[in-house]
Amino acid sequence: MPIHSTGYRPWKETRVAPWRRWLAITTTGVQRAWKSLWLKRLLLAALFPLVFFSIPIFFFEQSGRDPQSWTMFERAMRGMTRGTPMASILDGVPSDPTPEQFQTVRHSVWSFLLLTMLRNTQAFLMVILVGIVAPPLISQDLRTRAYLIYFSRPIDRWEYILGKFGVVAFFLLLISTGPALLLYLVGLLLSPSLSVFWMTWDLPLRILVASACLIIPTTLGALAISSMTLESRYAAFSWFAIWLMGHVAYSSLTAIPTFQAQSRREVYQPGWELLTSPYQILGAVQSYVFGFQQSNQWVWPAILLLLAITVGSLILLFRRVAAPMRA
């Protein structure tokens, strides 16, 4: 037949499952964000801590066979933990540990290294990453009135928010959970036998929980900020300002007590001050997840604060994303 496909044609094929609609928002957002050169550099930079922290693990496992490595390892560890509450991690372990002693220490050492990586390096990178990816996500949609396109389709607000959440969460998983799990794998591979897994199987789970604590409140908070304004640079500015101000507040509040503690050769345990800085809040909660800081009573307020931020951001987002259309 001569005429084949001319003009308008109807479409009657099968649709995908409804729950996959929000995935479309995530994949599109990820593709757009991926174009940024700085983002790619950041993702690359996120791998360096992995290499950096593999080294102590290597020495630790080596020291099981070679006492000299133990000395090097111990020195490195003491250097890393000086001045922090975890300095006591290697106390009570002789220079020539037995295999049983070695096993018990392994769990704490690995926890400590994983925590340090997640809490210090990756958290820092996370702040920058979210500041790059999150601010334009909703503010630009508000500016170009994209909500008219989204919400005139069978999309609920939660699907939209989940889709946008997925964009940021994807990259955060890449720089935090991914390297952490890889570090754990490195440890497993470097250890004498894979039966080590049975003693440390809780660590991957802790990694996941710590990642969740890291990712969920911060992403929702950043998205909430993004939904408050039509200009993504205001959102980005606010994001970085919050972290910076928190850090400054915390540092000023703890400067004198820390100095006083140091002169007494003690370590200062921050109290309520850690609630002023988002970085410290996250750090405290992550430490708790990894089994440190069990006695610090300020961990629970920190957890509550994270919950409050999560819920508050969700409420704000629900109200802001489709506001012009529902007015």
Partner 1 sequence: MSQADQVMEFQKVAKTFGKVRALQDITATIPAGVTGLLGPNGAGKSTLIKIVLGLLRASSGRVNVLGVDASVQGKLVRQQVGFMPEDDCYVPSLTGVESVQFAARLNSLPRLEGLRRAHEILDFCGAGQERYRTVETYSTGMRQKLKFAQALVHDPPLLILDEPTAGLDPDERDAMLSRIRILARDHGKSVLLCTHILPDVQSVSSHVVILAAGRVVLSQSLEELSRPVSPAMTVRIAGPVAAWTESLERQGLTFRPLQPEGWEIAGDTHAMQRRIWAAARESQCVIRSMTPARNSMEMIFLEAVQAATGGAQHADS
Q: How far is the CB of 179 from partner 1 (least distance, A)?
A: 29
User: Between 108 and 140, whose beta carbon lies closer to partner 1?
Assistant: 140
Q: How many residues interact with partner 1 (rule CB under 8 A)?
A: 39
User: Between 171 and 298, whose beta carbon lies closer to partner 1?
Assistant: 171
Task: Give the contact letters, 83-122, x = binds to partner 1 (CB under 8 A), - = no.
Answer: ----------------------------------------
Residue 145 interacts with partner 1 (CB under 8 A)? yes
Residue 3 interacts with partner 1 (CB under 8 A)? no
| Contact predicate 100/170, CB 8 Å | no
Q: Which residues of 290-327 are buried (b: 16+ CB within 10 A; e: fewer)?
A: bebbeebebbeebbebbeebbeebbebbbebbbeeeee
Q: How far is the CB of 237 from partner 1 (least distance, A)?
A: 19
Task: Give residues 189-248 in contact with partner 1 (rule: CB under 8 A).
Answer: none
Residue 141 interacts with partner 1 (CB under 8 A)? yes
User: Between 145 and 319, whose beta carbon lies closer to partner 1?
Assistant: 145
Task: Give the contact letters, 307-326, x = binds to partner 1 (CB under 8 A), - = no.
Answer: ---------------x--xx
Residue 4 interacts with partner 1 (CB under 8 A)? no
List Cα–Cα distances, 220 to 164, 207, 317, in angstroms.
9, 20, 8
User: Between 61 and 141, whose beta carbon lies closer to partner 1?
Assistant: 141
User: Between 78 and 145, whose beta carbon lies closer to partner 1?
Assistant: 145
User: Between 13 and 100, whose beta carbon lies closer to partner 1?
Assistant: 13
Task: Give the contact letters, 8-37, x = binds to partner 1 (CB under 8 A), - = no.
Answer: xxxxxx-xxxx-xx--xx-xx---x-----
Residue 7 interacts with partner 1 (CB under 8 A)? yes
Tell me which residue of 87, 109, 116, 131 sits closest to 225, measured CA to CA: 131
CA–CA separation, 59 vs 69, rounded Å? Answer: 6
Q: How far is the CB of 199 from partner 1 (least distance, A)?
A: 44
Burial environment of residue 116 by CB neighbours within 10 A (0 to 12, 13 to 18, 19 or more):
buried
CA–CA separation, 176 vs 208, rounded Å? Answer: 10
For 61, other C-beta atoms within 10 Å of its C-beta total 23
Tell me which residue of 190, 198, 199, 197 sits closest to 61, measured CA to CA: 190
* Element spanning 211, H or E: helix 202-228
User: Between 37 and 194, whose beta carbon lies closer to partner 1?
Assistant: 37
CA–CA separation, 292 vs 111, rounded Å? Answer: 9
The token duo for 145 is 């009135």
CA–CA separation, 230 vs 222, rounded Å? Answer: 14
The token duo for 282 is 């996250």
Site of interaction with partner 1 (CB under 8 A): 5, 7-13, 15-18, 20-21, 24-25, 27-28, 32, 136, 140-141, 143-156, 322, 325-326
